[in-house]
């Protein structure tokens, strides 16, 4: 009796094991287990064979693989960068009086941003203007040449005296030799003439020296006037630095220094301005992709437009153009730095944003597209379930190419018109019969 009961229990346990769930059928299963038929087929597609399945055929959703002409894109991680960024600093020392902008807003070139106390520099300008007036008066005095005119008058007087004494000599000489007058009178006239001649030479030297001196004085006065005028110009420039304006159109950042603080030349940074339109987008591209990019459309050069995908996945409405190609390939990463330029009229692009940039790499005239949700990975292989005319699901191994929107480009494993399961994959095993409902095909 005991043996009979033990035998009954063993038979009951074997029956329960046979009725249990197939391995991989439980909840939470992420991918089906390959069937022996699927893994053993040379082309990855098993022959539909009758496979015992528990229960009725599961409900699944299928879609047909269609052949399309598509454009494939290469996509890269990118970061936005302002074309111009300037740290605004003071070029004079003084107390910061006020600022006239709203932080984080757009400012125009030439717009007044800050005012530094100008009183010290206004006084320097007034002093420089006074120096100009003094230098101008000195120049006018030098040009009048008062000393030169006096020296010339003395020279004229000396020449007249020489002429008079020469006349005395000429008149006394015959009279003295005829003893009409004493010889001493003639000798005195000769001596007076020689003295007068020496005076003429001396006065001529004074005139020459005075002329040179006056010319030098005029040049010095003119140079002093120019220096004084330059000081005025410098004082005006320095005074102008007290009014700090925006160097270009852009977005202004956070105020770093409050009014009332003392600012010095170049310290501290008052605020930062970045140009917002256009915006640069920097990214790195593999050397092979770089060569493919420039070889894909010969003769078109670097003018091909770029597309930008923002952090939320939205496509940026403006298209970009290539702005710069890096000088050299990075030897450690094998990549090349590229820069594209995008118009940014609304200011949605900000410096430092992370995004994805892409460009069309190739056109495929006969691309087979399978939804990404129809593909699962098993034992490092990509696979999908194809539903035949008899509604039997067959697992096929796939060779996939690039992605296109929500699809994979299939290089092998499927053909146009195949029905693939996109929903209910976890309820199916290869060789099972299914109850399919069909949805629309691939993207246009």
Q: Choose from 8-17, 217-226, 288-297 the range with maximum mean pLDDT.
A: 217-226
Q: What is the pTM assigned to this prediction?
A: 0.59
Q: Cβ distance 306 to 359 under 8 Å?
A: yes
Measuring CA to CA, how many Å separate 162 from each of 116, 242, 353? 73, 69, 98
Q: Cβ distance 146 to 198 under 8 Å?
A: no
- Number of neighbours of residue 57 by Cβ within 10 angstroms: 16
Q: Which helix (H) or strand (E) element contains residue 293?
A: helix 287-295
Of 19, 28, 24, the closest CA to residue 52 belongs to 19
Q: Does residue 252 surpass a pLDDT of 90?
A: yes
Q: Given this model, what pLDDT does residue 221 score?
A: 82
With tokens 């290089």, the residue in question is 411
Strand pairing category for 59-64 and 435-438: parallel
Span 319-342, pLDDT tens digits: 999 889 999 999 998 999 999 999
**Tokens representing 346?**
């609304």
Tell me the domains of the chain and their CATH numbers: 28-70+364-438 (2.40.420.20), 74-83+276-362 (2.40.30.170), 85-117+246-274 (2.40.50.100), 119-240 (1.10.287)
Q: Which helix (H) or strand (E) element contains residue 234?
A: helix 183-240
Residues 82-93 have a mean pLDDT of: 94
Q: Does residue 226 surpass a pLDDT of 60?
A: yes
Q: Does residue 37 surpass a pLDDT of 70?
A: no
Q: What average pLDDT does the chain have?
A: 83
Burial class (CB in 10 A: 0-12, 13-18, 19+), 271: buried
**φ, ψ at 111 (rounded to 5°):** -65, 135
441 vs 62: CA distance, rounded Å: 9
């Amino acid at each position: 009796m005991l043996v009979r009961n033990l035998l009954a229990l063993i038979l009951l346990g074997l029956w329960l094991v046979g009725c249990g769930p197939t391995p991989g059928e439980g909840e939470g299963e992420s991918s089906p287990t390959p069937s022996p038929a699927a893994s053993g087929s040379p082309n990855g597609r098993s022959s539909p064979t009758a496979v015992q399945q528990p229960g009725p055929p599961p409900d699944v959703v299928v879609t047909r693989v269609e052949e399309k002409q598509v454009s494939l894109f290469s996509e890269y991680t990118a970061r936005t960068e302002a074309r111009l960024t300037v740290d605004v600093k003071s070029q004079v020392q003084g107390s910061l009086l006020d600022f006239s902008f709203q932080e984080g807003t757009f400012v125009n070139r030439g717009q007044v941003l800050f005012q530094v106390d100008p009183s010290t520099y206004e006084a320097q300008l007034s002093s420089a203007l006074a120096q100009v007036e003094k230098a101008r008066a000195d120049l006018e005095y030098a040009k009048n040449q008062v000393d030169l005119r006096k020296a010339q008058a003395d020279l004229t007087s000396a020449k007249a005296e020489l002429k008079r004494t020469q006349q005395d000599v000429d008149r006394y000489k015959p009279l003295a030799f005829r003893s009409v007058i004493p010889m001493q009178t003639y000798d005195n006239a000769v001596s007076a003439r020689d003295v007068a001649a020496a005076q003429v030479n001396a006065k001529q030297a004074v005139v020459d020296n005075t002329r040179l001196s006056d010319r030098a004085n005029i040049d010095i006065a003119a140079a002093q006037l120019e220096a004084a005028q330059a000081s005025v110009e410098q004082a005006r420039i320095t005074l102008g630095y007290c009014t700090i304006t925006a160097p270009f159109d852009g977005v202004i950042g956070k105020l770093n220094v409050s009014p009332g603080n003392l600012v010095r030349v170049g310290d501290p940074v008052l605020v930062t301005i970045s140009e917002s339109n256009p915006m640069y987008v920097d990214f790195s591209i593999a050397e092979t992709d770089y060569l493919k990019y420039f070889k894909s459309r010969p003769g078109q050069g670097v003018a091909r437009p770029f597309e930008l995908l923002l952090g939320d996945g939205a496509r940026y409405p403006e298209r970009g153009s290539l702005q710069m190609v890096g000088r050299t390939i990075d030897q450690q990463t094998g990549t090349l730095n590229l820069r594209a330029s995008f118009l940014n009229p609304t200011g949605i692009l900000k410096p430092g944003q992370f995004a994805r940039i892409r460009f069309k790499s190739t056109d495929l005239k006969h691309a087979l597209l399978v939804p990404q949700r129809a593909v699962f990975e098993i034992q490092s292989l990509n696979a999908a379930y194809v539903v035949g005319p008899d509604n039997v699901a067959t697992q096929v191994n796939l060779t996939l190419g690039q992605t296109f929107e929500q699809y994979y480009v299939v290089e092998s494993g499927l053909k146009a018109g195949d029905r693939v399961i996109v929903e209910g994959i976890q309820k199916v095993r290869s060789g099972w019969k299914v109850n399919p409902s069909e949805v629309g095909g691939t993207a246009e």
